[in-house]
Amino acid sequence: MTGIRRKMNKRFYNFNLSDEVLNALFEMGFEQPTPIQETTIPPAMEGMDIIGQAQTGTGKTAAFGIPIIERGKKGKTPYAIILEPTRELAVQVAEELNKIGKNKGILTVPIYGGQSIERQIRSLQKGVDVVVGTPGRVIDHIKRKTLILKSIKTLVLDEADEMLNMGFIDDIESILKHIPADRQTMLFSATIPAEIVRISAKYMNNPKKVSVDAKSMIVSKINQVFYEVKNEDKIKALTRLFDVEEPSLTLVFCHTKREVDDVSGKLQQMGYSAGAIHGDFTQAHRDEMMHKFRKSDIDILVATDVAARGLDIPDVSHVINYSIPQNPDSYIHRIGRTGRMGKSGIAITFVTPRELRQLRLIELSAKTKIKKAKLPTIAEVKKAREQGIMNDIDYVIEKEKHAEYLLLVNELSNKYSIQDIAASALSLAFSNSEVEDLGEIGLPDLSSGKNNVRLFMTIGRRDNVKVSDIVRTIAAGANIPGNKIGNIALFDKFSFVEVPHNIAEKVIKTVDNTIMYGRKIRIQPARERKR
């Protein structure tokens, strides 16, 4: 028995895996199989067809990925193909399979829309062992004869219910016509609707059914609460929770693209580190936002259900349903983005008085309990903000970042006591952290002042641009808080935006030639208005 085999959990060893795969799993931090891995890997290793009921975050990628890597043989064309509903999920699955298969030299390549098809063709021509793709792009490659499926031994339909909801079933059936009938087929889905049953009966050979009770897993791992909040108070309630709970990474779900833009824009205006993804953004923007979120360059990601499907980010501490999910399955999918791989998580749902009945239906269907909670009080928010400033002071002193101000303190100490100086400094710090009642809080005053520069932007209402879009673009591009941006005036073909003098040059340098809504925009100082 090798060192690696001794280090690996006994149950992984019992799967009769090669040293190459065991070593890779050990390096990836795998300690013991998850329930879906325990039930899936043995029959999959035997080549059986499988129907697995499990959601993202249960470890199902490794459940089908380990057998694919272990049983595969390199050849001139791919021996396995995995179909995914979204670009993001295709990339994630490909990354994990490349980690599992690196010691065996198994190469996995993702193919999806929004990326250069020529680049994908070059990758396929070099030789690929496993393909992970979205249905539409896979069909494109089949038609171009740049993807040959005659050697496929294993097919995986991942997130099958989501592909059904997104209208991919016809595409999937078209792809199946190009794959040998004597293959292994594995289907994974969070739910098993009638159409999935039909497909399994038609295209699978006596499949073994495995499942993980996702609903019971959610109950045990995730603290679920709801707050009864008026629509007009939601953004205020949201920021109050951020200030008190200080989450690490937070996913905020909204119903519509417009709501995503509105919420993310307001959070940026208030100085929160927030980004947004939905279907209208370019793939480049979505990739950038996901990269920043994974790396904690932004703390908050506001998204629609569609844009966030399949996202697997292990360190999400909070999921917030800014808008109540439209059905129980959506609720399960949303909150399942936290509490990953055994970690705890918090799921928060905002509910208006008229939506309480819908919440109870979700509870009943998901067989869970969502507890009512009270929003943090004004006193609690003030205390949290004060503690935040105290923590900042501790950091500054420990890192000795205050040295340049010691001369000023010495000068002031000739007139005042050190205690009075410190108390005055804290008073100035806290003056910007007043908290009002929910019915009174408003957005920061963004009116222009004498120290602002007026900039001209070559985008306007005809481009369907909104104020929140401009705030988000400037804040992200120039890496400045959104509340630094002043008045924004939208016209049909152009816009004016006001920023402080001291950051105007930075804004122009970093934002000029940025892509918004698929077109390149220019930004420059506005001409002086004639009087």
Q: Which CATH class is domain 452-525?
A: alpha beta
DSSP secondary structure letters along 223-261: EEEEEE--GGGHHHHHHHHHHHH--SEEEEEESSHHHHH
- The candidate with the shortest Cα–Cα distance to 35, out of 51, 17, 59, 1, is 59
Q: Residues, the chain, total? A: 531
- 361 C-beta neighbours (distance < 10 Å), count: 13
Please give the full DSSP string across 432-445, using - where no structure is assigned.
Answer: T-----TTT-----
pLDDT of amino acid 143: 95
Tracing tokens 């799921």 back to the chain, one arrives at 347
| Least confidently predicted of 107-111, 171-175, 446-450 | 446-450
Query: Is 313 within 8 Å of 249 (Cβ atoms)?
Result: yes
Q: What percent of the chain has pLDDT over 90?
A: 33
Q: Looking at the chain, which residues constitute the CATH 3.40.50.300 domain(s)? A: 3-212, 216-375
Question: 216-375 in CATH: which number?
Answer: 3.40.50.300
**In this predicted model, what pLDDT tens digit does every residue of 337-357 receive, in sequence order?**
786 655 678 999 999 988 988
CATH number of 3-212: 3.40.50.300
Q: How far apart are CA 26 and CA 42, in angstroms?
A: 19
User: Taking residues 41-55, what's their average pLDDT?
Assistant: 92
Q: Which of 100-104, 265-269, 479-483 has the highest mean pLDDT?
A: 100-104
| Residue 237 · residue 78 · CB < 8 Å | no
Task: Tell me which of 12-21, 163-172, 372-381, 420-429 is least confident.
Answer: 420-429
CA distance 357 to 373: 17
On the question of pLDDT at 220 being above 70, the answer is no
Write the DSSP symbol of residue 420.
H
In this structure, which amino acid lies at residue 35? P
Q: What are the phi and psi torsion angles at 438 (to 5°)?
A: -55, -35
- Is residue 375 within a helix (H) or strand (E), and if so which, with residue range? none
Q: What do you get for the CA distance between the two ends of the chain, in Å?
A: 87
Are 109 and 128 in contact by the 8 Å Cβ rule? The answer is yes
What is the structure's pLDDT at 104? 94
Lowest-pLDDT range of 43-57, 215-229, 347-361: 215-229
Q: How many Å separate Cα 125 from the centre of its chain?
A: 32
CB atoms within 10 A of CB 394: 10
Outline where 75-115 has alpha helix (H): 87-101
Place of tokens 């959601």: 55
**Over 60: is that where the pLDDT of 530 sits?**
no
Give the closest residue to 252 by CA, choosing from 283, 215, 278, 214: 278
* pLDDT tens for each residue of 445-504: 333 345 678 888 888 877 888 887 888 888 888 888 777 787 777 777 788 888 888 888
Q: Give me the DSSP letters along 10-46.
A: HHHHTTT--HHHHHHHHHTT--S--HHHHHHHHHHHT
Residue 29, SS3 per DSSP: coil
Show the tokens assigned to 393.
């002071």
Nearest to 81 by CA among 193, 93, 70, 352: 93
User: What is the pLDDT at residue 341?
Assistant: 55
Q: Is 142 exposed, middle or buried (0-12, 13-18, 19+ CB in 10 A)?
A: middle
Q: Taking residues 93-118, report their average pLDDT.
A: 93
The two structure tokens encoding residue 361: 């239906």
pLDDT tens digits, one per residue of 397-411? 777 777 777 888 788
Q: State the span(s) of the chain assigned CATH 3.30.70.330.
A: 452-525
| DSSP reduced 3-state for 61 | helix
Compute the chain's Rg from CA coordinates: 27
**Phi then psi dihedrals of residue 488, to 5 deg:** -125, 125
H helix or E strand, kind and range, residue 202: helix 194-203
Q: Give me the phi and psi of 330, to 5 degrees please.
A: -65, -40
Q: Which residues of 377-387 are buried (b: 16+ CB within 10 A; e: fewer)?
A: eeeebbebbee
Instruction: Name the burial class of residue 138, with classes exposed (0-12), middle (13-18) and buried (19+) by CB atoms within 10 angstroms of its CB.
Output: buried
- Report pTM: 0.55
In the structure, what pLDDT confidence band is assigned to residue 322 with cuts at 50, 70 and 90?
Answer: very high
Integer Cα distance of 506 and 512 in angstroms: 10
d(CA 463, CA 474): 17
Residue pair 191/162 in contact (Cβ under 8 Å)? The answer is: no
pLDDT greater at residue 254 or residue 6: 254
